[in-house]
Chain A
Amino acid sequence: DTGVSQNPRHKITKRGQNVTFRCDPISEHNRLYWYRQTLGQGPEFLTYFQNEAQLEKSRLLSDRFSAERPKGSFSTLEIQRTEQGDSAMYLCASSGPRTPRDQYFGPGTRLLVL
C-alpha cells in the first residue's frame, strides 16, 4: 500500500494558462474525491468518482474545471484559463468498497496563479 499520490506537488502558472493535476489512488479503492483548500480554511468538496463514473460535482466546479477518471484508476483535474482565485491546495482522496466513508488523502498539489 503506497498511499494516495499526487503530481505535481507544486505548480506555478500565469493567469490564463491551463494546468492539469494527476491523482493515483490506493490501488483497490473504487471511489476518488477531489477537494480544494485555501489558506486558513478546511477543504471543500469539488467532485467525486465511483470507478470511472463522475457521480457528483460541486457548484464550486466552474466550467473551467474538468475532471476525469478514464479507466477507474488514476484521475486528472484540469483547470482551463486559470485565474488568481484558483490559487489553492488541491487535494485528492480515495476510499475502498468495504469502508467507503474512510477517505485517505494524498499530499496535495499547491497551485499558485500569478
Chain B
Amino acid sequence: AQSVTQPDIHITVSEGASLELRCNYSYGATPYLFWYVQSPGQGLQLLLKYFSGDTLVQGIKGFEAEFKRSQSSFNLRKPSVHWSDAAEYFCAVVLTNDYKLSFGAGTTVTVRA
C-alpha cells in the first residue's frame, strides 16, 4: 500500500545537539517530497522540498534533508537545535501526476535545556 512512514513518534533532544527525523515512503515512483513543521496552535509551515536534482536540499530555519532513492527515505536534519524548534514535524509527498499532499503521522520534537 502507498504510505508515508515516520518511525519516531516522539524525540527528545538537548538544546544545541543535532537532530535527525526519519521519513520513509512506499510508492511505485519517486514522489515529490516535503517536510512541514507545525507549532502549537499554528498551521503548517513548509520547511523544504525535493523534486529532483541535488539530493541534499536546504530549507528554512537551518534545516536540511537528504533524499536516498535506494532507501526510499527523505530524512530531515539540523546540526544544532534551538528551543524554538520544539514542534511537530510532518513528512509529506505529492505524486508526480497529482497535487494533494499525503502526510505521515508526524514526529513530536521536545527540546530540553
Does A pair with B?
yes
Interface residues on B, range: 20 to 34
Interface of B is mostly: strand
Contact A42–B46 (Cβ < 8 Å): no
Give how many A-B residue pairs fall within 8 Å (CB-CB). 53
Alpha-carbon distance between A108 and B39 when the two chains are bound, in angstroms: 12
Within 8 Å CB of A40, what residues of B?
105-106
Bitwise, A35-59 to B at CB < 8 A (1) or not (0) is 1000011111100100000001000
Within 8 Å CB of A22, what residues of B?
none
Within 8 Å CB of B51, what residues of A?
101
| B→A interface (CB under 8 Å) | 4, 32, 36, 41-46, 49, 51, 90, 92, 94, 99-106
Write 28 A-B pairs (CB below 8 A) sorted by A numbering.
A33-B99, A33-B101, A40-B105, A40-B106, A41-B105, A42-B90, A42-B103, A42-B104, A43-B44, A43-B90, A43-B101, A43-B103, A44-B103, A45-B100, A45-B101, A48-B100, A93-B101, A100-B99, A101-B32, A101-B49, A101-B99, A102-B46, A102-B49, A103-B101, A104-B46, A105-B43, A105-B45, A106-B43
